[in-house]
């Protein structure tokens, strides 16, 4: 009697070999996914990233550190020539925050400073498109 069951199971396995491989693969992938999901509960929670707008008069962005943390702020090295919150080029058409990439490419002798956006726009300048927050 056991021998009859053994032969029936053996013949079923040999006839449906490919289907059994697929079923076993699906089972083990599901088991691994469930296990990884359960492990994710044990991983430490990460702190959210907070982005703040610095005061433009006395700060500038420095390079990002290797840790991926927010940029460090430090005083402007040449603060004697800085006279406002916004800067534009004598030959340009747009005004920027001092830490924007466009403002950092302006030569010191070509910089024009403004205290307010209205003052810059009254002088004929428009907000820079690549300077967030303008």
Which residues form the domain of 121? 60-127
- Range with the lowest mean pLDDT among 13-27, 51-65, 87-101? 51-65
pLDDT at 58 over 70: no
CA–CA distance, 23 with 111 (Å, rounded to integer): 70
Give the DSSP per-residue string, 38-67: HHTTTSPPPPPP---PPPTTT-EE-PPPTT
Cβ(99)–Cβ(60) under 8 Å? yes
The DSSP H or E segment spanning 15 is: helix 2-15
27 and 80, same domain (yes or no):
no
Q: Which residue has the higher pLDDT, 98 or 60?
A: 98
12 and 69, same domain (yes or no):
no
29 and 64, same domain (yes or no):
no
For residue 28, name the pLDDT band (cuts at 50, 70, 90).
very high
Cβ(90)–Cβ(110) under 8 Å? yes
For residue 49, name the pLDDT band (cuts at 50, 70, 90).
confident
Neighbours of 106 (CB within 10 A): 19
75 and 116, same domain (yes or no):
yes
Which residues have CB under 8 Å from 76's CB, separation 6+? 58, 59, 60, 82, 98
pLDDT at 46 over 60: yes
Cβ(113)–Cβ(132) under 8 Å? no
Tens-place pLDDT, residues 72-81:
443 344 443 4
Q: What is the pLDDT of residue 59?
A: 46
Tens-place pLDDT, residues 85-134:
999 999 999 999 998 989 999 999 999 999 999 999 999 999 998 888 87
Structural domains counted in the chain = 2
Asked if residue 10 belongs to a domain, the reply is: yes
33 and 68, same domain (yes or no):
no
């Amino acid at each position: 009697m056991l021998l009859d069951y053994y032969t029936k199971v053996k013949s079923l396995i040999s006839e449906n070999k490919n289907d059994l491989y697929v079923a076993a693969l699906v089972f083990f992938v599901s088991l691994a996914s469930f296990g990884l999901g359960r492990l994710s509960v044990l991983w430490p929670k990460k702190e959210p990233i907070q982005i703040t707008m610095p005061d433009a008069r006395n700060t500038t962005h420095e390079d990002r550190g290797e840790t991926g943390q927010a940029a460090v702020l430090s005083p402007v090295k040449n603060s004697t020539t800085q006279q406002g919150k916004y800067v534009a080029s004598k030959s340009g058409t747009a005004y920027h925050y001092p830490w924007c990439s466009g403002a950092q490419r302006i030569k010191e002798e070509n910089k024009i400073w403004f205290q307010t956006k209205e003052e810059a726009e009254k002088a004929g300048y428009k907000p820079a498109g690549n300077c967030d927050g303008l």
